[in-house]
Chain A
Amino acid sequence: MSAEQLPALVVVAPLVAAPVALLARRALPAWMVATAACGFSFVAALALAVQVTSGGAVSYALGSWPPPWGIEYRVDVLSAFVLVLVSGVATVVAPFAWASASAELERERLYLFYALYCLCVAGLLGMTATGDAFNLFVFMEIASLSSYVLIALGRDRRALLSAYQYLVLGTIGATFYVIGIGLLYLMTGTLNMADMAARLSDISSTRPVLAALAFITVGVSLKLALFPLHLWLPNAYTYAPSAVTAFLAATGTKVSVYVLLRFYFGVFGTRIVLEELPMSQILLALSVVAIVTASLVALWQADLKRLLAYSSIAQIGYITLGISMASREGLTAAVVHLFNHGITKGALFLLVGGVALRAGHAGFDRLQGLARTMPLTSLGIVIAGLSLIGTPGTAGFVSKWYLVLGAIEAGRWWLAAFIVATSLIAVAYIWRFVEAAYLAPLGGATPRAGEAPAAMLVPAWILVAASVWFGFDTSYSVQGAARAAALLLQ
């Protein structure tokens, strides 16, 4: 196996695993295939990351058609970084899904769940690895369609409406995206992103190109749940099965952020997006509003899972805030927060999944005195919550640090103060959990069956440990992000 084939292998492994899991028709083999495929992708992604760090971008021509005629898979520092996050989280969530999905779904149809999971992973990895704009759309739809079904599998009937709404919105988003690509294709005659960028440089201010930018921006904003296009997200995350929520929250929106970065900086170019158009101001305004409103809404949620969903919207706001700065620090912050928030939120949703397994759902009435019956789960939530706040010594601090640095570098003091101040809202909503779990007396509705099974607890704690680890050892996350930022700004 040579390094040139890795970009394809990363994607192909889960893609092939999906029909295999389908054919297995039984839960256990399907699960094993899915886990193995995710693990394989993770290893391949790590190998790719090593490869691109030392030797530059890796390109793979699908079907041996050289780009720009054929479809090119192209992995550079940024995409390798996202690939590692997606496949890594997928690998951690897969063992969790065994215990969690078994409890939440019908046993006879479990194999379908794992097949869909593989498809979703393949879609997200494909979006990241491909260098072809239309191919990206296809993978986007693979990931989206499978995630609609996965969300609809939730136990609550509201999961159905959430999935439906997500389907409609997701399809509108994807269609907007493909309209944008169509306009770009009309103007450049190519679908290869690198080629497109080269050809766009002369005609970037023409009307169709600007329309394409608008369509792609709105389409991708829908997918990444940028305020005010976030409305599908809270319900989808709240009512989906726990494993699905954790996986999607950690990866789904992050890959969309990646797509946005790719198009802004890799295709349209900084000059047109951020200098000629008021793009950065719009993005900044939307991010600021997203952070404030979503954080405040989170504060009053009656359900921990829904609270975390709203907090995700706020955290995405921090990522887009970093993008809007369009500086080295800002982009580093965006990319590193994409990574750090992925693992932190993944950890939180996995732990909450454990609570939901024992209690039915994660409403605050079920959390009173939880620390007494589920001490490890509660502790994990607090630690990951600290990372969400951005406490020093956690991964979240690193992201916030670079955001503040970027704001200061740009001379925007109010923005630096804003970032610090809004972290206080995060303190408040995490405090609600601390208060309920640690300080309140044991409630009548609090689950008493003890900790979640080890198969769920161990993956969750791996991510908790990771969100602490990356607060101290930033050599991978920050250096990777900094390299990616440098690449984007070239």
Chain B
Amino acid sequence: MSQDEGRYWLDRPENVAKLYRGLWIVGVLLVLADLVVHRHAEAGFDGGFGFYGVYGFVACVALVLAAKLLRRAVMRPEDYYDR
């Protein structure tokens, strides 16, 4: 591992941070685009400003938190069924 240290752009944490910040900028731009583009609502309320962005973010955070809870309930050692 040491010989390719630094050879790869993604190995450097500051580059990853750049990507992360870039993604936020893209997100904000997309939400701002809601002001420009005429939104055609499918279900009535989804025409609102930034609906998809908020829903996507909240849904995924909720998903992961719920999954963490689920893991407490269902996780067993890997050889559970083999015993």
Q: Is there a contact between chains A and B in the complex with CB atoms less than 8 Å apart? A: no
Where the two chains meet, the residues of A that have a C-beta atom closer than 8 Å to any C-beta of B are none
Where the two chains meet, the residues of B that have a C-beta atom closer than 8 Å to any C-beta of A are none
